[in-house]
Amino acid sequence: MRKGMLIDTTICVGCQACEEACREKNSLPECNQSDLSACKFTKVFERGEYYVRKMCMHCLEPACASVCPVGALRKLEEGPVVYDEDKCIGCRYCMQACPFQIPTYEWSKALPRVRKCWFCYDRVLVGEQPACAAECPTGATLFGNREDLLAEARRRIVESPDQYQKHIFGEREVGGTSMLYLAAVPFEQIGFKSGLIEKPLPLLTWAVLSKLPDFVLVGGTLLGGVAWIINRRMTLEEERIQQAKLGGNRDAKSRNTLSRLLGRLGKD
């Protein structure tokens, strides 16, 4: 079953217990960064009268995992997008490709790693909830099956239509995310990216990449054919010259029938 979390920004009181729980769970150092960073996987932002927690969205079709040249980032069936630091070469394409600008880098280290929330996958895989959800005192962060959480979100919207926007952020954005958000005001007003497409981003590059084998085969054959035709014509022409020079002596034709047929593969 695909897991997820429902974050209800109308309930969050900004106590930052999730930040602390995350720091302990991942043994991160204390740090005062203004945004997510290599030492902060989740952060609560004050947006007007609401608090919004930011972390990896764990997309259903993650751009980061699709662009990683060595497959260091991987989407688990259970939901988490995880990272194998032994594979990573540090090209940072994941950071560039992420529509939410989530992955961070250990810029100050000589041998840096990509850092981001891993959805406490060690706990999720054995059916426990992530550290942040376990510590949340108000239930603003709720862990569960993504389908159940979607149903719950819809229920809340239907039950108190005045309190919620009719929009579950993460239901459809970039093909859907494991993290789902509810809000009382339009999401752009509380710092969410707007204008995200609903199509999973990896499809954009795959549309080109999937055609490459055809391109290689057709292109190679075409160029091979062109080379054959033109070179054979040149070979014949040269022969004519030779022949003409030698006064029409037929024996002076090319010594090698095969090379005449194919044109010359090698050149001088």
Partner 1 sequence: MIKKLIQRMTFWKLVLATIFLMGLYISYVRFFKGLGASTGLSDKFPWGLWVGFDVLCGVGLAAGGFTITLVVHVFNLKKYKPILPATVLSAFLGYLLVNAGLLFDIGRPYRVWHPLIMWNPHSVMFEVAWCVMLYTAVLSMEFSPLVFERLNWEKPKKIVKSITIPLVILGFILSSLHQSSLGTVFLIVPGRLHPLWYSPILPLMFFTSAIATGLSMVIFESYLSRRAFKKRLELDLLSGLGRVICVVLAVYFVLKMKDLYNRGALAFLLDGSHESKMFALEMVFGVVVPLILFSQRKVRESQGGLFIASLMVVLGFVINRLNVSITGMLRSSGVNYFPSWMEIGATVFLVAVGFALFAAAVKYLPVFPKEEANAEREFAYLTPKRANSIGSLTAEAEAKP
List binders of partner 1 among 159-188 (CB under 8 A): none
**Parallel, antiparallel or unpaired: strands 179-182 and 73-75:** unpaired
User: Given the complex with partner 1, which of 11 and 227 has the nearer CB atom?
Assistant: 227
**Parallel, antiparallel or unpaired: strands 3-8 and 179-182:** parallel
Q: Select the span of 3-11, 50-58, 131-139, 194-202 touching partner 1 (CB under 8 A).
A: 194-202
- Can you tell me which of 30, 77, 159, 268 binds partner 1, judged by CB under 8 A? 268
Alpha-carbon dihedral angle through residues 230, 231, 235, 238, given to the nearest 10 degrees: 70
Which parts of 206-265 interact with partner 1 (CB under 8 A)?
Answer: 206-209, 212, 215-216, 219-220, 223-224, 226-227, 230-231, 234, 237-238, 240-241, 243-245, 247-248, 265
Region for 79 from its dihedrals, namely left if φ exceeds 0, alpha if ψ lies in -120 to 50, beta otherwise: left
The answer to the question of residue 105 lying near partner 1 (CB under 8 A) is: yes
Q: How far is the CB of 59 from partner 1 (least distance, A)?
A: 12
Q: Give the residue among 135, 244, 215, 176 at the shortest CA–CA distance from 2.
A: 176
- Can you tell me which of 205, 253, 256, 261 binds partner 1, judged by CB under 8 A? 205
Q: How far is the CB of 5 from partner 1 (least distance, A)?
A: 23
> With CB under 8 A, what is the number of residues at the site for partner 1?
71
Q: How far is the CB of 206 from partner 1 (least distance, A)?
A: 6
The answer to the question of residue 191 lying near partner 1 (CB under 8 A) is: no
Q: How far is the CB of 213 from partner 1 (least distance, A)?
A: 10
How many whole angstroms separate alpha carbon 22 and alpha carbon 43?
A: 10
User: Given the complex with partner 1, which of 110 and 126 has the nearer CB atom?
Assistant: 110
Which parts of 107-126 interact with partner 1 (CB under 8 A)?
Answer: 107-112
Exposure string of 189-209, with b = 16+ CB inside 10 Å and e = fewer, is ebebeeebeeebbbeeeeeee
User: Given the complex with partner 1, which of 69 and 139 has the nearer CB atom?
Assistant: 69
Half-sphere exposure of 137 (CA within 13 A, CB side): 7
Which parts of 8-37 interact with partner 1 (CB under 8 A)?
Answer: 35-37
User: Given the complex with partner 1, which of 112 and 144 has the nearer CB atom?
Assistant: 112
The answer to the question of residue 155 lying near partner 1 (CB under 8 A) is: no
User: Given the complex with partner 1, which of 139 and 224 has the nearer CB atom?
Assistant: 224
User: Given the complex with partner 1, which of 109 and 166 has the nearer CB atom?
Assistant: 109
Residues 6+ positions from 193 with CB-CB distance below 8 Å = 99, 100
Which parts of 34-93 interact with partner 1 (CB under 8 A)?
Answer: 35-38, 63, 66-72, 87-93
